[in-house]
Chain A
Amino acid sequence: MRTDDIIDVLVQDLPNQPKPVSTILLRWWPAAATLAGAGFLVIMGVRPDLVAAGLAPTLLKLMLGALIALTAIAGALDLSRPEVQASIASKWLLAVAAFLGLVVATDLLRHGLDAWWARLFGKGIVTCLTLVPSLAALPLIACLTALRRGATTEPVAAGALAGLASAGLAILAYGLFCNEDSPLFIATWYSLAALIVGLAGAALGRALLRW
């Protein structure tokens, strides 16, 4: 077949204009997260002592979730363009690392090293490491489905960013339920939960985001 003939076919298909990845992604990904998060909070409930326990820890959780979600989804969208490299798309994640560092440093400065393990470990570890990934599953699927319209040349990194971003949205809902309030706990186990979803996203991205 001649290359000119192929061009004729492509020209005839021009009226089928594909929608930009961002249009699809920013519609379905938050919708999927809202569905999962709202369902979770209806069944499991917001923690009863939300206000009584002081709003600061909850605010910290929401800030962490939003920061992870925003930086990672910006990276994933950037990576859906073929000429963008993973290192450049991931650079905003440094803001998350800096934020976590700040949280841990503040905690250690305020309370010192006394009984740090009591602040790090809590009853909620297993709950956190299972519920956050479960809550992230639906938005992750929506995110990857939208990213399949993209043309990433780094499917593993794009999948990982999709996973992190979805975990970020999951944390927004989980943070209203979780009653572990130590900053050390939040910085450690929330991050680990997000990394688990990131790894799952990387594996899925490798399979789903090739073109």
Chain B
Amino acid sequence: MRLALDGDQIAYKALLAALVPHVRGRVRHVLARSGRGQAEVEDIVQETLLAVHLKRATWDRSMPLTPWLNAVTRHKTIDLLRRMGARGEVDLDDAVETLAAPDGGGESQLDVQRMLSALDGRKRQIVEQVSLAGRSAAEVGGQLGMSEGAVRVALHRALKQLGRTFKGRADAD
């Protein structure tokens, strides 16, 4: 994490990938303890990763990472439980589907996809190019005729907007 915070992208990617099983385990744990289905595990994992990314400056480097990570995960999970509580239902079909699915597939439900569609055209294009096609900001810039810097700015705005959309959904429900 320290390397990653200094801007080492390879270290950052390895770190985030290494965090995923831990986060997924915590989410499952909190959901199970509150008697909820596991349908939205992967959505929460992805929301948590986004929060880890956007809020990474709030980790104190002199402290161990785990308590910080667990607090972020718990916060995001409880957020979702509150939403589900407001809805007052657990989608049984989803739950069955997820239980039947092999573990570690890491595919979220439609929620995140729907949220992506809330982004405007250019931002969505950039996010999709980077995520689905695995391109770098420089490559996407070349392809869309934008500078690398402009792509980065647009990407960052898209992520912040996604973070707000998650939160907004929590507020609205």
Contact = CB atoms under 8 A, between A and B. Distances in A.
A18 B112 CA distance: 24
A78 to B, nearest CB: 9
Contact of B9 (A11, A149, A151): A11
B7 A5 contact: no
Given A13-B159, A211-B167, A7 B49 contact: yes
Q: Which of A2, A18, A19, A211 has the most CB of B within 10 A?
A: A211
Nearest to A80: B58
B33 to A, nearest CB: 17
Interface in B37-63: 42, 45-46, 49-51, 53-60, 63
B65 to A, nearest CB: 10
Nearest to B78: A153
A82 interface: yes
- Size range of the chain B interface in the assembly: 35 or more
B71 A12 contact: no
Contacts, number: 121
A16 to B, nearest CB: 4
Interface in A1-36: 1-21
Interface in B86-117: 106-108, 112-113, 116
Q: Which of A8, A17, A150 has the most CB of B within 10 A?
A: A8
Nearest to B5: A17
Contacts of B165: none
- Size range of the chain A interface in the assembly: 20 to 34
A4 to B, nearest CB: 6
Contact of A3 (B5, B49, B170): B49
A82 B67 CA distance: 9
B50 A19 contact: no
A122 B51 CA distance: 51
15 contacts: A1-B107, A3-B42, A3-B45, A3-B107, A4-B17, A5-B134, A9-B155, A10-B50, A11-B12, A11-B16, A13-B53, A80-B58, A151-B75, A153-B74, A210-B167
Q: Which 9 A-B pairs have the closest CB atoms?
A: A5-B131, A82-B71, A3-B106, A83-B71, A151-B55, A18-B57, A83-B67, A10-B53, A151-B58
Given A7-B17, A18-B54, 9 more contacts: A1-B113, A2-B106, A6-B49, A6-B131, A8-B13, A12-B130, A81-B58, A149-B57, A153-B74
